[in-house]
Structure 1
């Protein structure tokens, strides 16, 4: 194995921390702001014919020593390279939740620009379509916001255990990546371009303060392929709280 190939393999291993099941379609799963690959770990082994590949951004969990990205272009360029190297010539799809959906979208546009093989499907959840005007609802978080305000925001969204939010050491571990991810999100500007040639599945939830069903449904305008929209009961993290329903939707979207 050449030094270059070995370096790429190590890079991929840091981004993809869980063992490869090597089953059929590879599904790269990108987490929400401050989130980690562990959010998708329970999905591994529960999608027949699909190798769930949770993505670990730098600055959290197994990559605490790595500086988190604060620039969308740099983040998506590196991640596009990782996905293409790991997928090789096998079919793949990309799933992103919340900020992860924006990152997934830009990764696909990066892959298209560099002429890489495109995915079989894009799946997103908990995220307004990026071409829509900024919403007047919800909370805009800034990098320099106080810890108390960020904690209040996390409590409002749900999905983060109270024991975690009340533990100063645990909280300290997630604040840095959250602040970095906020820079990525707040500095992001949608650049108009031809729509994707990839089918999209978009998941909304009934009580998500960040993305209502109409704004999630607008992802249909970003592809010339088919777009299916599903709405689950619940809040911003309904796709994880109702994992069985979510996995059924994913299975139907990815089956041949």
Structure 2
């Protein structure tokens, strides 16, 4: 497979991303690149690049990653190859935030160019206790569907569709395996600015737990608060886009 074909699998909306600063967007557990599709062209000066991990949407036949290390290794190759010598930024929501954090640390370990900023949302700060409830990897199908319903972000008509549930559950289980097998290892804080978009009523990440991300950077730290739940960055996308433009110092 050529590098162009590999890139097109990981970045399926690249041709629609527009011009500007590349912003690699990593989705939540079970989510795919289409979660960010409505963001394309909505942040002036930014080329939004939704990332498509294997095991979902057009890549649903590929085995999904179940552990953090091989996932961020593959992502580092993708990001560095796509960015080249251009400045770039990284954003992640929920599990994607944790993956984005470890991705940047992997890039640092490779002594490669770091992003201009890391932006995260919907995730407790690494290294701090969090309570996600019972392990998802051991849940039954009804329990998994109930969890997705309680978390929000997935329309009820889709959760009632047996074929849709069959398609997404392997990725959901694999993604939660990435999180539940993840072990935080202390390293020096990142020498890049960090922005957090926290929600007031997020059942997966309290506002306080998200504010502790400030310990992961030696540079500028910004915390913005949205009123609502776990997927508020998507439900209030206009506000999210404004914060993204501010974080990336765009007019």
TM over 0.5: yes
SS of aligned partner of 1:143: helix
Runs (5+) with no aligned partner, structure 1: 1-5
Q: In the alignment, which residue of structure 2 is the partner of 1:129?
A: 125
Give me the TM-score of the superposition, normalised by structure 1. 0.95
Note the residue ranges of structure 2 that are not aligned, 5 or more in a row.
none
Instruction: Give the match for residue 58 of structure 1.
Output: 54
The verdict on how the C-alpha distance between 1:68 and 1:138 changes in structure 2, with shifts beyond 3 A counting, is: closer
Find 2:96's aligned residue among 88, 93, 100: 100
**Separation in 2, partners of 1:140, 1:103:** 21
1:185-207: CA deviation from partner (whole Å, max 9, x where unpaired): 00001100011011011011011
Q: Distance in 2 between matches of 1:198 and 1:22?
A: 25
Given candidates 19, 40, 62, the residue that maps to 1:23 is 19
3-state DSSP class of the match of 2:240? Answer: helix
Give yes or no for contact 2:194–2:220 (8 Å, CA) kept in 1.
Answer: yes
- Alignment pair present for 1:86 and 2:75: no
**Which of residues 153, 163, 169 is equivalent to 2:163?**
169
Structure 1 residue matching 2:90: 3-state secondary structure: strand
Whether contact under 8 Å (2:92, 2:121) holds in the other structure is yes
Instruction: Give the aligned partner of residue 245 of structure 1.
Output: 239
> Are the aligned partners of 2:67 and 2:177 in contact in 1 as well (CA < 8 Å)?
yes
TM-score (norm 2): 0.96
CA distance in 2, matches of 1:140, 1:245: 33
User: Conserved in 2, the CA contact under 8 Å of 1:24 and 1:91?
Assistant: no
Residue 45, structure 1, aligned to residue 41, structure 2: yes
| d(CA) in 2 for partners of 1:154, 1:16 | 25
Aligned counterpart, 1:198:
192
Are the aligned partners of 2:18 and 2:40 in contact in 1 as well (CA < 8 Å)? no
Corresponding residue for residue 222 of structure 2: 228
Matched, 1:144 2:148: no
Measured after TM superposition, the shift of residue 255 of structure 1 is 2.0
The residue aligned with 1:114 is: 110
Instruction: Tell me the CA shift for residue 22 of structure 1.
Output: 4.8
Three-state SS of the structure 2 residue aligned to 1:203 is: strand
Whole-Å separation in 1 of the counterparts to 2:104 and 2:122: 18
Query: Conserved in 1, the CA contact under 8 Å of 2:136 and 2:144?
Result: no
Match of 1:33 in 2: 29
What is the SS of the residue equivalent to 1:96? Answer: strand
CA contact (8 A) 2:8 2:14 kept: no
Report if aligned partners of 1:69, 1:184 keep a CA contact under 8 Å in 2: yes
1:3 aligned partner: none
Q: Hey, what does 2:210 align to over in structure 1? A: 216
Distance 1:110 1:171 in 2: 33
Q: Which residue is equivalent to 2:9?
A: 14
The count of aligned residue pairs is 249
